[in-house]
Amino acid sequence: MPVRNDVSWAVIISGFAGNGRYMEVLLYLNEMLGSVEDKVRPNEAVLVCALSACANLGALEQGNWIHAYIKRNEIRDSSNMCTALIDMYAKCGRIDIARLIFNRIPRPDVHNFTSMISALSYHGLGEQALTVFNRMLNENVNPNEVTIIGVLNACSHSGLVEEGSSIFYNMENLWGLKPQIEHYGCYVDLLGRAGYLEKALGVVKNMHIKPDIVIWRALLSACRIHRNVFLGNSIIDFIKQLNSDGPSGSEVLLSNMYASLGNWEKVSEVRNAMGQRKTQSDIGCSWIEVNGVVHEFRVADKLHPQILEVLIKLNELWIVLS
């Protein structure tokens, strides 16, 4: 393009963010700020996308720099901006700063409340998340579908079965929100983590919508935690009906459950079945920020320029821990 304005920059950056290409989001933000020809400042859409990228990459230093840029240029603290800042700091491990930003909002809206509830949920602070949720209701701010997901997750991570059950079963009557597949998944996870496996199975069987593989895997994961092999085997049969090619991720859970019980014969049987189908799940990926630079690692990837140093350090850690 001969001339690029803030809108064209926002479109390309949001495109990368929407497709999960967070490294490119930050690269294009830096290019935008350094562009002599365009001489444009990032608008709210660009900054929100950049903060989202930092949140997903765990890039705290980059996020701090963007926050400082917002304050230095006296950019308005809109609802979207505050929500993005809360999310970024929470996902980068600074729940204290996320809480400060939330507490400084004069009149939080549903998005601000939802972001704060989800932030507390990430950190396993279920009771605090419920406190924020109750404040939200007291201030006559109605929750949306995402809010309920955040609250149910918070209850799940903190073992608050009674509170989570009350919210799940009253969400339609109190707030006009009909449970969707994501809400059922959170509730099944809540019951499963707490050991109520039969009750969780009953919820799955009585859903008004067809359960997907994510819900069955949540229940299977609970079976692994609580070592219920009989129910775990039954769930594998349900999953195979949904995925005829063979659910490698689910069978990994089943294999781990057998391993926790010391049943190595069954572990070998499940692993052999997986190998014969040659199923391949999504490649695992992780990021870490060091001195302001985000490093990306993928499973079995040896292309990182410092991979030898990384492997040597891992070996040192392994020797210490063993």
Per-residue pLDDT tens for 87-107?
999 999 999 999 999 999 999
**Two structure tokens written together for 185:** 């998944």
In this predicted structure, which of 178-192, 230-244, 261-275, 299-313 has the lowest mean pLDDT? Answer: 261-275
For tokens 């929407």, the residue is 18
CA–CA distance, 162 with 198 (Å, rounded to integer): 16
The model's pLDDT over 278-310, given as tens digits with 9 standing for 90+, comes to 444 555 667 676 766 667 777 666 667 777 888
Q: What is the pLDDT of residues 102-158, one digit of tens each?
A: 999 999 999 999 999 999 999 999 999 999 999 999 999 999 999 999 999 999 989
Count helices and strands (H / E) in the chain: 17, 2
State how far the Cα of 84 lies from the Cα of 77, in Å rounded to an integer. Answer: 11
Positions of E strands within 133-207: none
Q: How many CB atoms lie within 10 A of CB 158?
A: 21
Asked if 140 and 113 touch (Cβ cutoff 8 Å), the reply is no
C-alpha angle 38/31/293, rounded to 5°?
160
295 DSSP 8-state letter:
E
User: In this prediction, what percent of the chain has a pLDDT beyond 70?
Assistant: 80
Q: Where are the domains of the chain?
A: 195-281
**Euclidean distance between CA atoms 234 and 210, whole angstroms:** 17
pLDDT band at residue 255 using 50, 70 and 90 as cut-offs: low
